Amino acid sequence: MPTTDAAEIRRVLRQVLAEALDRDVPELTEDLRLFADLALDSTDVIELLMTLERSMGLKVDPDGLAAGALETVGTLTDYIAACLARAQEPVG
């Protein structure tokens, strides 16, 4: 079952980002800003999330994403953890 632990999510994020961008990515701390500090654009972030959907089994809710989730590594990690927790809730 995929983890919802923040440190583990950051580790996976860093690995997926490095592969997607084909460049070294610094260690991800919570307050790093996705656009200003990591120089990502919106297409990069969407590619990242789609990769995570495939590899971690999360289901992205676009409206939830727009509400501040893309500010920093920390907000994105919280958002991913919430998506993963929802995906793991028993159905029925």
Partner 1 sequence: MLHLHAVAPFVPEHSVAIEDLRVPIGLSEAEYQLFTRFLGLERIATATGLTTFDMLLAAGREALAGTDRSKVRYLIHAHAVQHVAPPQLRLAHSLREGLGLGGARSFAMSHQSCVAGLYALKVAELLLGAQPAGSTALLLTGEKIFSPLVQHLPGTTITGDAAAAVLVGLDGPGDAVIGRAHRTLGEFHRSRDMPPAQQRRYHHVYIDALVSVMRDAVRDAGLELEDVSLVLPHNVNRFSWVAAATALPIPLDRVYLENIPKFGHCYCCDPFVNLTTARAQGAVHPGDPVLMVSGGQGATFGAVVVRIAEGTRRHD
65 binds partner 1, rule: CB under 8 A? yes
Q: Are 64 and 75 in contact (CB under 8 A)?
A: no
Query: Which part of the chain contacts partner 1 (CB under 8 A), choosing from 21-29, 38-46, 72-80, 82-90?
Result: 38-46
68 binds partner 1, rule: CB under 8 A? yes
Applying CB under 8 A, which of residues 3, 26, 30, 39 lies at the interface with partner 1?
A: 39
Determine the 3-state secondary structure of 72 from DSSP.
Answer: strand
Cβ partners under 8 Å of residue 42, min gap 6: none
Residue that the structure tokens 């919802």 belong to: 4
Question: Which residues are at the interface with partner 1 (CB under 8 A)?
Answer: 35-36, 39, 41-43, 46-47, 50, 60, 62-63, 65-68
